[in-house]
Amino acid sequence: MSELFPHFQVIVVSGLHDSGPGHWQSRWQHLHPEFVRVRQDDFDQPDLAAWAARLDQQRRADPRPALLVAHSFGCLTAVHSIARNCDGVAGALLVAPADPDKFGVADRLPALPLDCPSILISSVNDPWMSAPHAALWARRWGSELVEEGRLGHINADSGLGDWAAGQQYLQRLAELAHNRLLAFSA
């Protein structure tokens, strides 16, 4: 995918029930075994603080800057983690975030831009978050918003396979993060 990825720790942050073998996150990990996945104690019981703490552990396990590749409740986990401490996070790809109101965690998420580049990808027919609500959260977080059309929850049921378009968004995020890191080191 990218010659930039060795410079980053790429962390897969899945949502409820983890991501099965047909999910694009799992397929990307198969394509890139160097990507690591955050393992939660219980993928069936979303707990924002506990899940973010586990992500924080994974972030500290590698000194390289992290690119977070999040889906659904994993997006909420990633944003919560970044808001508490952005050190070492180079960027976040936030795909089909779950609606924070459905989980009662909206008040625990930042309403200000994240301190790293982020791309939020939404679908107009996502049952877990409406397109207008996704646009609202993208504005709050300072994320570039990409509306991908009618892809449902952008998961295995969407039939995306290796999701080439998503890989291109991750490549763009890596480039943004790399350029930002270069600018800070200059």
The residues near 66 (Cβ < 8 Å, ≥ 6 apart) are 8, 9, 10, 11, 59, 88, 89, 90
Q: Is pLDDT at 1 greater than 60 in this prediction?
A: no
Per-residue confidence at 186, pLDDT binned at 50, 70, 90? Answer: low
Long-range pairs for 57-60 at CB < 8 Å and ≥24 separation? 58/11, 59/9, 59/11, 59/88, 59/89, 60/88
Domains and CATH numbers, the chain: 6-185 (3.40.50.1820)
What single DSSP character describes residue 40? P
For residues 77 and 49, the answer to whether their CB atoms sit within 8 Å is: no
How many angstroms separate the CA atoms of 61 and 9, rounded? 9
Amino acid in the structure at residue 64: R
> How far, in Å, are 106, 128, 155 from residue 158 at the CA level?
26, 14, 5
C-alpha to C-alpha distance for 93 and 108, rounded to whole angstroms: 20
pLDDT in tens, 112-153: 999 999 999 999 999 999 999 999 999 999 999 999 999 999
What pLDDT shows up at residue 184?
75
Q: Is the model's pLDDT at 27 over the cut of 70?
A: yes
Q: Are 95 and 63 in contact (CB under 8 A)?
A: no
Residues 31-60: pLDDT tens digits? 999 999 999 999 999 999 999 999 999 999
> How far separated are the first and last CA of the chain, in Å rounded?
27
DSSP H or E stretch at residue 56:
helix 48-60
Judged against a pLDDT cut of 80, whether residue 2 lies above it is answered with no
Q: How many CB atoms lie within 10 A of CB 53?
A: 15
- Alpha-carbon span 44 to 40, nearest angstrom: 9
